[in-house]
């Protein structure tokens, strides 16, 4: 727990390290959070990972930017037909650095969607959607859908002509869905006609309902990434599907156990956690 005394270190340094470590140790002893974060951040990955594999983290970063700038914008935005457009003008023209935060949110939205598609292309081209990661692909598709729903609902909020008519068209597109379409369109509009309820409804969905789902799905996505490990690039020398070497103490912990396939159906090995 405490720092092991070493003759090399000066007394001052030892005190400093003890001071830094004390709260961390306190936290770790009571919650295990430090070890958890260490486990999350310092995972074993294949030696030949590629820069393309940072696209997922880039997408996550774009989402965090959207979340933070969105919270700040919500402090100034007023979701009423009479005030929405004016409040956006106020944010852009009057509030200090409002133009920048709004710009980050507006352009970051496109960036988020584009990065999702790049990340998806990387996963597809690397074959990283294959066993045992199919479920994570499905979760990723759900993230793509919810991310685009964020785009759809957020587009109305500036409440200008583009926003209004794009939303009219978007809602009516949903209305052409078979059987339930007419009801879906009325649900999105909050009634028969687009109006004040539509704006507040989209605002609520944009900043409460869908982000909640998005955050939950991101958590599940990351959990599966940690559990299943990172894939090697397709050109990797260590071919996927190779049996890991064993030394009698269970599967080898080469950090890539998630890549191995079961020997035969019915004798599924537990994948993921090293040495489990």
Partner 1 sequence: MEPGRRDEPHTPAPTLYPIGFAAGIACVLVGLIVSPRLIAPIGGAIAIVFGFLWVRDATRDYRGVPAPVDPETRREAGVGDAPAVPAHHGEAAMPEPEPGERFPRSTFLEASTLGVGVIIGGLVTVPVAVMALGPAFGKQGKHYVDLGPLDNFPEGEWRLATFFLDPGLGEVTRRTAYIRNNGTLDSEPSFTIISNRCAHLGCPVQPNGPVFDDQSKDVNTGGGERIKLIKMLPAGGFGCPCHGGQYDPEGNRTAGPPVRALDRYEYAIKNGHLILLKTFSVSHVDGTGKDATIHKYRLAGPGQHIDGWEQIFYPLQPPQ
Site residues (CB under 8 A) for partner 1? 81-82, 165, 168-169, 171-173, 175-176, 178-179, 181-187, 189-197, 239, 241-243, 261-267
Instruction: Provide, rounded to whole angstroms, the least separation between the CB of residue 1 and partner 1.
Output: 25
- Asked if residues 150 and 164 have their Cβ atoms less than 8 Å apart, the reply is no
Residue 269 per-residue DSSP state: P
Instruction: Provide, rounded to whole angstroms, the least separation between the CB of residue 169 and partner 1.
Output: 5
* HEC secondary structure over 135-201: HHHHHHHHHHHHHHHHHHHHHHCCCCHHHHHHHHHHHHHHHCCCCCHHHHHHHHHCCCCCCHHHHHH
Q: Which is nearer to partner 1, 175 or 233 (CB)?
A: 175
Q: Which is nearer to partner 1, 55 or 205 (CB)?
A: 205
Q: Which is nearer to partner 1, 19 or 169 (CB)?
A: 169
Instruction: Provide, rounded to whole angstroms, the least separation between the CB of residue 130 and partner 1.
Output: 10
Q: Which is nearer to partner 1, 11 or 192 (CB)?
A: 192
Q: Report the alpha-carbon angle 26-32-35, nearest 5.
A: 105
Instruction: Provide, rounded to whole angstroms, the least separation between the CB of residue 12 and partner 1.
Output: 46
Instruction: Provide, rounded to whole angstroms, the least separation between the CB of residue 84 and partner 1.
Output: 10
Residue-level length of the chain: 276
Q: How far apart are CA 225 and CA 276, in angstroms?
A: 17
């Amino acid at each position: 727990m405490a720092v092991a005394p070493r003759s090399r270190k000066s007394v001052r340094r030892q005190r400093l390290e003890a001071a830094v470590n004390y709260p961390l140790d306190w936290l770790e002893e009571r919650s295990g959070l430090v070890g958890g974060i260490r486990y999350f951040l310092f995972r074993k990955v294949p030696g030949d990972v590629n820069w393309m594999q940072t696209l997922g983290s880039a997408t996550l970063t774009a989402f965090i930017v959207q979340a933070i700038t969105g919270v700040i914008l919500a402090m100034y935005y007023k979701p009423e037909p009479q005030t929405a457009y004016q409040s956006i003008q106020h944010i852009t023209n009057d509030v200090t650095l409002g133009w920048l935060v709004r710009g980050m949110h507006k352009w970051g939205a496109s960036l988020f969607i584009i990065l999702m598609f790049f990340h998806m292309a990387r996963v597809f081209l690397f074959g990283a959607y294959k066993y045992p990661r199919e479920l994570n692909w499905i979760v990723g598709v759900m993230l793509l859908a919810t991310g685009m729903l964020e785009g759809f609902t957020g587009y109305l909020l500036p409440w200008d002509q583009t926003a209004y008519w794009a939303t009219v068209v978007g809602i009516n597109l949903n209305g052409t869905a078979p059987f339930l379409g007419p009801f879906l369109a009325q649900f999105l509009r909050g009634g028969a006609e687009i109006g004040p309820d539509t704006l507040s409804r989209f605002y609520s969905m944009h900043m409460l309902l869908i982000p909640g789902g998005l955050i939950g799905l991101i958590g599940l996505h990351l959990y599966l990434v940690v559990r299943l490990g990172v894939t090697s690039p397709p050109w990797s020398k260590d071919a996927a599907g190779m049996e890991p070497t064993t030394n009698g103490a269970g599967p080898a912990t080469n950090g890539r156990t998630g890549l191995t396939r079961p020997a035969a159906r019915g004798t599924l090995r537990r994948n993921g956690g090293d040495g489990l």
